[in-house]
Amino acid sequence: MNLDQNILSNSLRSYLIVLGILLIAVFIKRLVSRFFASLIYTWIDKKNHSELRKSHFHRLIIPIERFLLFMVAIIAFYELQFPEAWNVHIYKISLQQGMESVVKLVFVILLIRVCLRTLEFISIILEEKAKLSKDQTDDQLILFFRDFFKVILYIIGILMVLHYVFNENIGNLVTSLSIVGAAVALSMRESLENIIASFIIFFDKPFTVGDLVKVNNFTGTIEKIGLRSTRIRTEIKTYISVPNKQMVDTIVDNISLRTERKIEMDLQISTNTSAIALANFAQFLRTITANHQQVMSSIVFVSESGKQFHTIHVECLIPLEVDLPAFQMLREELNLAAVSYANEHQIAFAETK
């Protein structure tokens, strides 16, 4: 066999060398890809959880294998000369230029895919570590930055395609995009404000995922904090989205951070009630609230004496450990006690119009 025989402007020896390089790459691609995946994993988490490795390694290994094999193939084929017989032009573009553009396009796609899978792989590892802590802020923060960096990678990929495949000047393109971006920013000012507000929420932490909050007359549990809006599961199990700008600008009552719950009652008593009966009624309420086991502190006083009615104001602070059903039962117990005392001592409540 004559290894120096030319076939399509290249010797048979050159073809065999390229084939040998490709075969070597096929055999070692799994080993090299596992090495890079292990390196990334060890860099992020030195504890080396075996279950996580087995379940998620393949998601990273496969795109690395394809990228390495394609990169080796490019390097190998660049050692060959493009056949003169194939040097044809289609719409002022030679076949060689078209093939080079396709190769560059595939290279950029595989590179961005490896970066995206690496980002997902890192986020999965960090999520597993974050689940070990009770604070849910870091869980949501990982998801937030994962989505944020995905957008950045897509933008980088598009710019690389425009530069390397279509030979566009990125400097001029970025300048043009900055002008267009300024116009878009003005038209999308509200969306940008929501994105900025999401960063404020993450770093200022007025609330986190899992907190019970009250905002815009809605009370519910924070389920997700996104780039644009915050998702809340209300008490009636509806799912609402509140723009992050509103979550920053309006008053948000974080019920989960309260140290105690408050029972507040205003008993409107008829003006026919004597001062002694009114004082005895207030003293009765003062006694039962002070002696109740679930009441931390209480205050009872006659807050108003007018032409239409007298008012006895009652405030009780209840520990947050008391769950909501027990809290409502206590409220009912105090109201029924007040009604029973009024009925027993012939004290009439005021009739409001």
Domain positions in the chain: 6-187, 197-256, 258-344
List strand residue ranges (DSSP E) for 13-121, in order. Answer: 89-90, 93-94
Contact between residue 296 and residue 347 where contact means Cβ atoms under 8 Å apart: no
pLDDT given for residue 183 in this prediction: 60
Q: Which long-range contacts (CB under 8 A, 24 or more apart) does 130-136 make?
A: 135/208, 136/208, 136/209, 136/210
SS3 231: strand
Beta bridge partners of 229: 243
Instruction: Per residue of the chain (353 residues), give pLDDT as tens.
Output: 566 666 766 677 777 777 888 788 788 887 887 787 777 767 766 555 545 555 566 777 888 888 888 888 888 777 777 676 667 766 677 777 777 888 889 899 999 998 988 888 888 777 777 777 666 666 667 777 788 888 889 988 888 888 888 777 776 666 666 666 666 555 566 777 887 888 888 888 888 888 889 898 888 999 888 878 899 999 888 999 999 988 988 889 888 887 888 889 999 999 888 899 999 999 999 999 999 888 999 999 998 887 788 999 999 999 878 887 888 899 999 999 999 999 999 999 987 65
Q: How far is CA 86 from CA 108, 199, 262, in A?
A: 25, 55, 85
DSSP at 163: I
Distance separating alpha carbons of residues 306 and 33, to the nearest angstrom: 84
Distance separating alpha carbons of residues 214 and 220, to the nearest angstrom: 7
- Where helices occur in 131-251 by DSSP H, the ranges are 137-160, 170-187, 189-204, 244-249
Same fold for the domain at 197-256 and the one at 258-344?
Answer: no
Q: Into which CATH architecture does domain 258-344 fall?
A: 2-Layer Sandwich (3.30)
pLDDT given for residue 341 in this prediction: 93
pLDDT given for residue 2 in this prediction: 64
DSSP at 349: B
Could you confirm whether domain 197-256 is CATH 2.30.30.60? yes
Helices 170-187 and 137-160, axial angle in degrees (round to 10): 130
pLDDT given for residue 4 in this prediction: 65
Which two structure tokens, joined as six digits, stand for 26?
């096929």
Supply the pTM of this predicted model. Answer: 0.52
